Amino acid sequence: MGIISRGFSGRRAASDVKLPPGQYLTKDFPVLSAGPTPRVPLETWEFTIADGKNVVQRWDWNAFRALPSETPTVDIHCVTRWSKLATTWEGVSLDTLFANVKTDASYVTVESYGDYTTNLPLKDLMGGQAWVAFRFDGKDLAPEHGGPARLLVPHLYFWKSAKWVHGVTLMRDDKPGFWESLGYNNYGDPWKEQRYWE
Amino acid sequence: MTWRVGTIVSVHDETRTARSITLDVPDWPGHLAGQHVDVRLTAPDGYSAARSYSIASAPSDIKRFEITVERLADGEVSPYLTQEVAVGDPLEVRGPIGGWFVWHPEQTEPIQLIAGGSGLVPLMAMMRARAAVHSMMPFRLLYSVREPDAILYADDLRALAAANDGTAITYAYTRVAPKDWARPPARVDAALIAQATWPASQSPTCYVCGPTPFVESIATLLTAAGNAPDRIRTERFGATGDVR
């Protein structure tokens, strides 16, 4: 426990709400990104899976939207300390996207329009844990929130849920992405409060 | 990254709702201009709440820095920091944090700073850092602010402008402008961007900080004016984000 702040009582969340340590609840949907919001026309949008330098899967928007989608309801936790509960999305599961991909790689680099990258263990994208989401709260995903499509990996801090996603590259070796190279934790488990480099 | 216990060595009200707090932190590792810190408050029963605040002071060798906190009506931490704390109080901090929205004295390109409201704080750290190292790199600040009374660091900004050594400041009032001000109160638009910011041909690095809709609007105007997206660095805070 920290030192007591004289005269501070704070505002606790309702006791039936369980948040990761150090998080507070918001009903807004704050925006965090490193630069301008890219505008990605659907006509040129694509999503690829590459194994090293070889593109092994490629979808344009129509082909991507023809894939079966799911509508997960999940809690999201941003490293800037806000959490938002029971958010509803529509997206294509990474299990679906990887259905025909065989690999011995253990890591991925996720790539976005606007050159943002983030890194994850491949197993964190599999098993119903991750989606490429294109709708939020029943509406097409707004550009400032990552539209046309963003990664959704709600069990990790939200910077791992890369906005404006356009592909993943399978990696034998882990390689830190954008925020991971700038002082943020390589894995980012909110329940272990893995915010920063230790 | 560990929590450190600092001691408040001064408090200074910048406006009716914003207060600067200077902390002495004995084992502070130092910071870069533009970085922020986490501040943690703890109640007697162990409940704690933490928020991030930008550092307003220039990097320095002394184990001391200043943050500026804008009070949010529905905030949990900012009302305490802007109304309750006093000189001599301990305060827990962790940081510095952030390696992207920073200015390094080694940078050799013109710098464009654009602030919305309390988004000025990390940009002020950059201007103070520039002054501290006597950098010759030209800076421009475009500061969008509700009204004259809401200006942060008013005296420091006047002094920076008066020094006339390469920091040019343009104010854009959104609600109330001073008497005889040429531009009626309005948001920053393409005309003001063209008039008050570096031409894209000078390849400035642009730092934009403010509320999300402000940053979205400015980043769009800057790219429309020909600035490359990778030269525009942004930092945003949400309506209830309680950042800064």
The reply to whether residue B230 touches residue A35, judged by beta carbons under 8 angstroms, is yes
CA distances from residue B131 to B58, B137, B164, B192 in whole angstroms, order as listed: 9, 10, 11, 26
- Confirm whether B75 is domain-assigned: yes
Last residue within a domain, chosen from B55, B75, B97: B97
pLDDT confidence bin for B164, thresholds 50/70/90: confident
Question: Where among B50, B69, B97 does a domain terminate?
Answer: B97
Longest dimension (CA), chain A: 60
Residues B115 and B233 reside in one and the same domain: yes
One domain, residues B117 and B60 = no
Judging by beta carbons within 10 Å of its beta carbon (0-12, 13-18, 19+), is residue B224 exposed, middle or buried?
exposed
Same domain, B115 and B93: no
The CATH number covering residue B121 comes to: 3.40.50.80
Statement to judge: residues B125 and B32 lie in one domain: no
Whether B25 and B127 map to the same domain: the answer is no
Share of chain B above pLDDT 70, in %: 97
**What SS3 state is found at B157?**
helix
**pLDDT over 70 at B6, yes or no:** yes
State the CATH number of the domain containing residue B33.
2.40.30.10
Would you say residue B126 lies in a domain?
Answer: yes
Which one of B48, B73, B97 terminates a domain?
Answer: B97
Query: DSSP string spanning B8-69?
Result: EEEEEE-SSSEEEEEEE-TT-----BT-EEEEEEE-TTS-EEEEEEEB-SPP-SSSEEEEEE
Under the banding of pLDDT at 50, 70 and 90, the label for residue B155 is very high
Residue B76 has pLDDT above 80, yes or no: yes
Predicted local distance difference test score (pLDDT) of residue B175: 96
- Cβ contact A30–B90 (<8 Å): no
Asked whether residue B64 carries a pLDDT value surpassing 80, the answer given is: yes
Task: Answer yes or no: is B243 within a domain.
Answer: no
CB contact under 8 A, B80 and A1: no
Query: Domains, chain A, ranges and CATH?
Result: 40-190 (3.90.420.10)
The answer to whether position B57 is within a domain reads: yes
- Kindly tell me if the per-residue pLDDT of B230 is higher than 80: yes
Mean pLDDT of each 10-residue bin along chain A, 198 residues long: 84 76 81 83 97 95 98 94 93 97 96 94 97 97 94 97 96 94 92 88
pLDDT at A13: 66
Q: How many CB pairs under 8 A join A and B?
A: 117
Same domain, B124 and B208: yes
**B135 and B224 assigned to the same domain:** yes
Q: Closest Cα of chain A to B15: distance in Å?
A: 23
**Predicted interface score ipTM higher than 0.85:** no
B80 and B142 inside one domain: no
Mean pLDDT along residues B110-125:
96
- Mean pLDDT value across residues B37-45: 94
Q: Give the predicted TM-score (pTM) of the model.
A: 0.85
Q: Which of A28, A38, A198 sits opposite B240 (nearest CB)?
A: A28
Q: Is there a single domain that holds both residue B148 and residue B223?
A: yes
Q: Do residues B121 and B219 both lie within one domain?
A: yes
pLDDT tens-digit map of B170-190: 999 999 999 999 999 999 999
Verify that B25 and B47 share a domain, yes or no: yes
State how far the alpha carbon of A106 is from the alpha carbons of A103, A109, A122, A123, A158, in Å.
8, 11, 5, 7, 21
pLDDT in tens, B128-148: 999 999 888 899 999 999 999
Interface test with B, best of A3, A4, A8, A180 (most B CBs within 10 A): A8
Sign of CA dihedral B100, B34, A81, A194: positive
Nearest-CA distance A105 → chain B (Å):
29
Tell me the residue range of the domain where B22 lies: 4-97
In a domain, B92, yes or no: yes
Instruction: Tell me whether residues B47 and A115 touch, CB distance under 8 A.
Output: no
Give the mean pLDDT of B215-242: 84
Tell me the residues of chain A between 109 and 148 that have a Cβ less than 8 Å away from chain B: 114-115, 144
Task: Calculate how close chain B gets to A35, using CA atoms only, in Å.
Answer: 5
Task: Give me the pLDDT at residue B198, please.
Answer: 96
Q: What is the pLDDT of residues B24-36, one digit of tens each?
A: 999 999 999 999 9
Count of domains forming chain B: 2
Do residues B144 and B176 both lie within one domain? yes
